Amino acid sequence: MRKSLIKSILSAESPSQDVTVCGWIRTRRDGKGVTFLELNDGSCLTNLQCVVDAGTPAAEGLGESSTGSAVRVSGELVPSPGKGQRWEVRAREIFVFGGADPETYPLQKKRHSDEFLRTIAHLRPRTNKYSAAFRIRSRAATAIHSYFQSEGFYQVHCPVLTGSDCEGAGEMFRVTTLPPGEKDLSKDFFNRSCQLTVSGQLEAEALAMGLGRVYSFGTTFRAENSNTPRHAAEFIMVEPEMAFADLDDLQDLAEGLVHSVVGDLLKTCEEDISLFDRFVEKGLVDRLRVIAEEPFARITYREAVSILEKSGRDFVYPASYGVDLQTEHERFLAEEYFGKTTIVTDYPREIKAFYMRANDDGETVAAMDVLVPRIGELIGGSQREERLDVLEHRIIELGQQLSEYDWYLDLRRFGTNPHCGFGLGFERLIMMLTGIGNIRDVIPFPRTPGNLAF
Ligand code: 4AD
Ligand code: MG
């Protein structure tokens, strides 16, 4: 089918005798002897206005078709006399691929609530807000790949089916082919238990030990029953892992990545981001500029707790040394105290995962969390424990079997070295880029507790 994308038509340099576009009718206005169509094909936010004169073959082709119908319009591209648009199409011929009954098509109104649109997740990509969010998602992925590739990282693919619980959190989905009631795991597909991965980190570490710098960009799963606006059961994690690098290098990497991605999006997705600035979060663009340009604040967990204790704030959960930071604490630090992205490092070992490198103080580990205004934790990572004896000791201390980690310990037996990595929650990044407050609205088909409708 010979046709142009509306995005390229709208940036045309000169008029054209003959253009063809395909898209969905967003609105139809019937005037005296003329009909105006606003056409959108998803290639960009702006609609293309098509003018249809009554009594022409185009008007006949269009018939009564209205909002939601899929059409092909051919005609002449001319400068638009109307306000707000440079070009319009004077239709010569219209073909309707598929109509949409105005009695039953749910997207008739200009604005619908997020809650309602979640119940029609299969139709919401046809709205301005969701198509813009999903275009931003696409571009953000591209920007992440570009950054890592330019820094010498290789993309790797880590398994989704796994036998190990990376975070030690025990909040995993089980995968089985056993019939209901059958409990003997030796009869299961893998002759053992199998779960959906919570993180590709351990495998990424193995790959980094051969390729030096790697990143995985994959789906991860958490069966935590936390019904918050920031948690999904299925989400995407971006996980770089670097050999021969320490926690300072890791903080630089996180800062470089976030600066580069947000800076890229401000340029490449200006139109879509401005929609969110107008309708979702006033001041979004200014806030993103700060994130893209300002150096990150860097403090230790101990300093963070001391700031929180002295803040005079009445937190729901008071901050105290030894207790993990809550979202309210993270937001206070990034949003109010520093007013910019903040990295907190060196958390107490008890509240962090077994693989994080023990600091010399015997109390803390070389961990880091990157906190951003409005979201809280965007990135979590650490330097990894590269000393075999220290790692073995920690695994035993946590009551785990060394045999379960045999291959992971091999990485310390053969050519071990200081290395580190982090996980960035891709959906939280999209929330940050759009100002959207609920993770359910940045994932096309979100999975949250009790919700698997699509
Ligand atoms: O801090 P987390 O749990 O870190 C890890 O899993 C490490 N193994 C990553 C690594 O070092 N390679 O998760 C990393 C990030 C969080 O900072 C958060 O942005 C996101 O993943 N995240 C979630 N996003 C949406 N829904 C959830 N349930 C999430 N859990 C974590
Ligand atoms: Mg974390």
**What digits encode the pLDDT tens for the residues 308-367?**
999 999 999 999 999 999 999 999 999 999 999 999 999 999 999 999 999 999 999 999
Output the CA 254–ligand 2 centroid distance in Å.
14
Q: How much is the mean pLDDT over the chain?
A: 96
Output the CA 171–ligand 1 centroid distance in Å.
13
Give the model's pLDDT for residue 111. Answer: 84
Checking if the pLDDT of 166 tops 80, the result is no
- DSSP helix/strand/coil, 409: helix
- The two tokens of residue 54 are 């009554």
Average confidence (pLDDT) over 298-313: 96
Distance CA(222)–CA(438), nearest Å, equals 17
Q: In terms of pLDDT, which residue wins out, 404 or 369?
A: 369
Residue 218 in contact with ligand 1 by CB distance below 6 A: no
Residue 222 in contact with ligand 1 by CB distance below 6 A: yes
Average confidence (pLDDT) over 181-190: 94
Q: Are 234 and 202 in contact (CB under 8 A)?
A: no
Give the model's pLDDT for residue 92. Answer: 98
Output the CA 369–ligand 2 centroid distance in Å.
7
Distance CA(47)–CA(379), nearest Å, equals 36
Task: Indicate which residue's Cα is closest to atom 5 of ligand 1.
Answer: 423
Give the model's pLDDT for residue 164. Answer: 79
Residue 378 in contact with ligand 1 by CB distance below 6 A: yes
Average confidence (pLDDT) over 122-135: 97
* pTM given for the model: 0.97
Cα dihedral 271, 272, 274, 280 in deg (nearest 10): 160
Antiparallel, parallel or unpaired: β 70-79 and 16-31: antiparallel
Distance CA(354)–CA(397), nearest Å, equals 10
Q: Which atom of ligand 1 is nearest to the CA of 421?
A: 11
DSSP string, 156-201: E---SEESS-TTS-----B---SPTT---GGGSTTSS--EE-S-SH
Q: Where are the beta strands (DSSP E) in 244-393?
A: 297-300, 342-348, 364-372, 376-383
- The two tokens of residue 197 are 């991965």
Residue 425 in contact with ligand 1 by CB distance below 6 A: yes
Cross-strand pairs, 320: none
Assign 170 a pLDDT band (cuts: 50, 70, 90).
Answer: low
Give the model's pLDDT for residue 225. Answer: 81
Q: Which atom of ligand 1 is nearest to the CA of 226?
A: 28
Task: Indicate which residue's Cα is closest to atom 2 of ligand 1.
Answer: 380
Backbone φ and ψ for 228, nearest 5 degrees, come out as -110, 165
Give the model's pLDDT for residue 431. Answer: 98
Checking if the pLDDT of 167 tops 80, the result is no
Give the model's pLDDT for residue 82. Answer: 83
- DSSP helix/strand/coil, 362: coil
- DSSP helix/strand/coil, 61: helix
Give the model's pLDDT for residue 169. Answer: 65
- The two tokens of residue 237 are 């994690």
Tell me the C-alpha to C-alpha distance, in Å, between residue 90 and each of 2, 54, 59, 78, 94: 18, 12, 11, 7, 11
Give the up-direction half-sphere exposure of residue 302: CA atoms within 13 A in the CB hemisphere: 8
Average confidence (pLDDT) over 356-385: 97
Q: Which atom of ligand 1 is nearest to the CA of 424?
A: 15
Checking if the pLDDT of 106 tops 90, the result is yes
Output the CA 377–ligand 2 centroid distance in Å.
7
Distance CA(305)–CA(334), nearest Å, equals 13
Q: Which atom of ligand 1 is nearest to the CA of 198?
A: 6
Antiparallel, parallel or unpaired: β 70-79 and 87-98: antiparallel
pLDDT digits (tens, 9 = 90+) for 39-61: 999 999 999 999 999 999 999 99
Q: Which ligand is nearest to the CA of 382?
A: 1
Distance CA(380)–CA(387), nearest Å, equals 21
pLDDT digits (tens, 9 = 90+) for 217-274: 999 999 988 889 999 999 999 999 999 999 999 999 999 999 999 999 999 999 999 9
Q: What is the DSSP letter of 335?
A: I
- The two tokens of residue 260 are 């580069």
Give the up-direction half-sphere exposure of residue 225: CA atoms within 13 A in the CB hemisphere: 1
Closest-CA residue to 170 (of 425, 428, 398, 389): 398
Backbone φ and ψ for 444, nearest 5 degrees, come out as -55, -50
Q: How far is CA 46 from the centre of its chain?
A: 23
Closest-CA residue to 428 (of 252, 261, 279, 205): 261
- The two tokens of residue 26 are 């967003």
Ligand 1, residues 153, 158, 199: which to mutate, most atoms within 8 A of Cβ? Answer: 199
Residue 231 in contact with ligand 1 by CB distance below 6 A: yes
